[in-house]
Amino acid sequence: MEHNAGEIIELAVRRQNVNISDLSRRMHVNRRTLYNWFKQRKLHTDVIIEIGKAINHDFSADFQNDFRGLGSVSAYKDESSSSHSDSVYYWMEKYISLLEDYKKLVQKGSHQKTLS
């Protein structure tokens, strides 16, 4: 009996308690695309790997025939965690920048009140 790739992927996503909307944002696809992938019997290996990276799951055991010759898939997890780290620093810097801008506006507003 042939495995249904979409069902295996969906089950892994659900077991990881990953929100479909969050997953679609991480992968830069819309939710409908994810649901369409869940319905497909066969998925391209690149799609499976990208979903695995996004949910931090190794699909090599589930798709042994598809992953044969690709080497270790666990290396993809390291890449995913480094991009997450970069994302954290991006938002941290963005937050600090916004706080500094807000502080300047507040100071400017309080300075104008004292002049009035």
The fold of the 1-73 domain, in CATH, is: 434 Repressor (Amino-terminal Domain) (1.10.260)
The per-residue pLDDT for 76 is: 47
- Mean predicted confidence (pLDDT) in 4-33: 91
Burial (CB < 10 A; 0-12, 13-18, 19+), residue 51, is buried
Nearest of 49, 59, 74 to residue 11 by alpha carbon: 59
Per-residue pLDDT tens over the stretch 61-105: 888 776 665 554 444 444 555 555 567 777 778 888 889 989 999
The larger pLDDT score, comparing residue 94 to residue 7, is at 7
Q: Is the pLDDT of residue 35 over 60?
A: yes
Q: Is the pLDDT of residue 37 over 80?
A: yes
pTM above 0.85, yes or no: no
Q: Where are the domains of the chain?
A: 1-73, 78-116
State the DSSP string of 35-83. HHHHH-S---HHHHHHHHHHHT---TTTTHHHHTTS--STHHHHHHHHH
